[in-house]
């Protein structure tokens, strides 16, 4: 398999990067701290189901940053340094490069997420909590998917840009838009529609669907629906239209996993170095 040397090299580069290591440690520590604090602060049953809902806000802040950091420099950095031309002069094609980056860098990200959530579950369960294996496995898979979405976005940015500086600006612009100000975007749109007389303070359902297609909101909605068993605001109410439900949300979530990497590879396969 021609992509395995690339995957091995990238995995080692990620492991040896001090910034990456410290961010991975931070994510794991936050998960472990959540697992330690949750049994103390919760007012009800100490279960891993409820812990999943407890952690979505922290994960929704840290994991996008980690995923983008893993992906945004994967290809553009080697293109800018000239190493990409050298790699492609060997028996590797561009599909090998992309697959190697996904396997090497993504594999390290998977290890970080699994370590953090498995350790947190152990702290929740011991000594008086309870573990629901199936739902917690779903939570783990959704969290891995969430990490994969932002890794894929970062990798796509890396294939579409030609300089590391531009990739950095775009990548952290995406992080700022989706993670930092997306809730404010909803308020601004709702206010604008109210001023136009189109709505009375709430977003119409079609606009709500578009706003809710952001990866973090999808992740929170799916964890709520499939793991924590709660309500997801206007999305999971019994009176909500079908396209605001969890199954449509799952389709959108999976689309975020596939489309950025596919679009990035398509661009990378056609562009000149």
- pLDDT for 231-261, tens place per residue? 666 777 777 788 888 999 999 999 999 999 9
Looking at the chain, the whole-number percentage of residues with pLDDT higher than 70 is 96
Write down the pLDDT at residue 45. Answer: 77
Return d(Cα 124, Cα 32) in angstroms, integer: 9
**Secondary structure (DSSP) of 205-240:** HHHHHHHTTSHHHHHHHHHIIIII----TTSSSTTS
Nearest 5°: CA angle at 96, between 93 and 100? Answer: 150
Write down the pLDDT at residue 7. Answer: 86
Q: What does pTM read for this prediction?
A: 0.93
Q: Domain limits of the chain? A: 4-179
Angstrom CA distances, 138 to 56, 111, 135, 226, stand at 13, 17, 5, 8
Q: Best-predicted range by mean pLDDT among 77-81, 93-97, 114-118, 125-129?
A: 114-118
Angstrom CA distances, 156 to 30, 54, 149, 256, stand at 28, 31, 10, 12
């Amino acid at each position: 398999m021609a992509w395995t040397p690339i995957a091995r090299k990238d995995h080692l580069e990620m492991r040896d990067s001090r910034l990456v290591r410290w961010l991975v440690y931070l994510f794991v520590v936050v998960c472990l701290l959540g697992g330690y604090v949750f049994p103390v602060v919760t007012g009800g049953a100490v279960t891993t189901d409820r812990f999943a809902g407890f952690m979505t806000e922290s994960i929704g802040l840290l994991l996008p940053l980690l995923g983008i950091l893993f992906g945004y420099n994967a290809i553009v950095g080697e293109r800018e340094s000239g190493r990409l031309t050298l790699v492609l002069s060997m028996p590797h094609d561009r599909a090998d490069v992309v697959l190697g980056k996904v396997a090497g860098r993504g594999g390290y990200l998977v290890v970080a997420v699994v370590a953090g959530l498995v350790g947190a579950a152990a702290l929740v369960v011991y000594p008086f909590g309870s573990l629901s294996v199936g739902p917690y496995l779903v939570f783990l898979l959704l969290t891995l998917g969430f990490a994969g979405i932002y890794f894929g976005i970062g990798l796509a940015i890396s294939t579409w840009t030609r300089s590391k500086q531009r990739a950095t600006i775009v990548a952290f612009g995406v992080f700022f838009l989706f993670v930092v100000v997306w809730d404010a975007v909803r308020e601004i749109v709702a206010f604008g529609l109210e001023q136009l007389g189109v709505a009375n303070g709430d977003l119409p359902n079609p606009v709500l669907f578009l706003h809710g297609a952001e990866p973090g909101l999808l992740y929170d909605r799916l964890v709520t629906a499939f793991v924590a068993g709660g309500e997801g605001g206007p999305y999971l109410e019994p009176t909500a239209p079908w396209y605001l439900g969890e199954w449509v949300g799952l389709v959108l979530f999976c689309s975020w996993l596939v489309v950025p990497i596919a679009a990035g590879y398509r661009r990378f396969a056609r562009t000149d170095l």
